Amino acid sequence: MALVAGDLWKFYGDRPVVENVSFTLNPGEILGLLGPNGAGKTTTVGMLYGAVIPSRGFVQLGCWHVHRQGRQARTFMGIVTQDDNLDPEFTVFQNLIHFAHHYRLVGKAARHRVGELLDRVGLQNYAKHRLDELSGGLKRRVVLARALVNHPQVVFLDEPTTGLDPDARQDFWKLVSQLKQDGCGVLLTTHYMDEAQRLCDRLLLLQQGKAIDQGTPTELIERIVGQEMVEIEGVAESILQQLAVQAGAWYRPFGSSYLLALPANNPNPLWEQLIATQPTSLTRRRANLEDVFLRLTGTSLE
């Protein structure tokens, strides 16, 4: 099933927090919804799975209209929110069994499905553990397993790895990639640029509730900032501005330093001119998604 969002708007009073957001999430695709805090990501995701009623627009999952036929549509959805919402009084196994009952899975069928999920997320040895015995990464695996109880065709992951250490994030990425291989459509929100660049097939960039651009990570980077960036410190802005204008390059302040995009067709002349300014610090690197957001919005995602 494809998930289709059309002309989504959400007002709180007279203030629009989401404006005219439209996209399609296809089966076997990971779509990243990216934006700084306050961009409207969580509100948009809430409208997609029916927790937030749009002021205008629609969400369709297969033949189901999410806001008129929410119960039927959510049968095919799995949801991982920023909060765990697990029962601390239950073991891992009991938490999943309890949730299976919401889908009328009971008895042997429920135990079989929970066993499958524990194996899938690598929690076979933790079934009898209470939640306070688990690390943050293991708890996120429990939440993902819970979201998969009903064999969903679309899975929503709202900043699923926030607060996890690098190893736990890597483990979670493998589980998300497996969902894609299984044919699930995955909607991911994240503040981690490496996560978005590694996992997502396409990205939808939000700023102040509006979709400001979309495309694959590589397309967005090359189209908006080019292939290479320079971080430079210890040079007067007037000098950098003059060099950037002459080269037709983009630049902007970045903390105590400056960012410049090297021209893709002929980067070395500008690079050599920058070296000649004798900066206190000079770094040449590949462009990334953070650079895209800095150019489009003037802010980073953190």
| DSSP 8-state assignment for residue 215 | E
pLDDT confidence band for 262 (50 / 70 / 90): very high
Structure-derived torsion over alpha carbons of residues 141, 142, 144, 149, reported in degrees to the nearest 10: 140
**Residue, of 163 and 90, whose pLDDT is higher:** 90
Which of 13, 12, 31, 11 has the alpha carbon at shortest distance from 22?
A: 31
93-103: pLDDT as tens digits: 999 999 999 88
pLDDT for res 222 = 93
* Phi (first) and psi of residue 227, to 5 degrees: -95, -30
155-166 average pLDDT score:
89
pLDDT for res 112 = 95
Asked if pLDDT for residue 37 goes beyond 90, the answer is no
pLDDT for res 300 = 61
**What CATH number was assigned to the domain covering residues 226-286?**
3.30.70
d(CA 201, CA 193): 13
- Within the chain, all domains assigned CATH 3.40.50.300 are found at 3-220
pLDDT confidence band for 264 (50 / 70 / 90): confident
206-227: pLDDT as tens digits: 999 999 999 999 999 999 999 9
Instruction: Read off the amino acid at residue 11.
Output: F
SS3 percent helix, strand, coil of the chain, rounded to 5, is 40, 30, 35
Residues 6+ apart with CB under 8 A from 286: 227, 228, 229
pLDDT for res 162 = 84
Say yes or no: domain 3-220 is CATH 3.30.70.270.
no
3-23 average pLDDT score:
96
pLDDT confidence band for 301 (50 / 70 / 90): low
pLDDT for res 6 = 97
Place of tokens 């400056």: 258
Asked if pLDDT for residue 12 goes beyond 80, the answer is yes
120-146 average pLDDT score:
92
Asked if pLDDT for residue 201 goes beyond 90, the answer is yes
d(CA 122, CA 127): 10
Asked if pLDDT for residue 299 goes beyond 80, the answer is no
Which of 294, 301, 205, 222 has the alpha carbon at shortest distance from 258?
A: 294
Determine contact, residues 243/273, Cβ cutoff 8 Å. Answer: yes
Q: pTM for the whole thing? A: 0.89
The tokens for 3 are 């998930």
244-271 average pLDDT score:
92
Rg (CA), the chain: 22
- Within the chain, all domains assigned CATH 3.30.70 are found at 226-286
Which of 47, 157, 126, 144 has the alpha carbon at shortest distance from 86?
A: 144
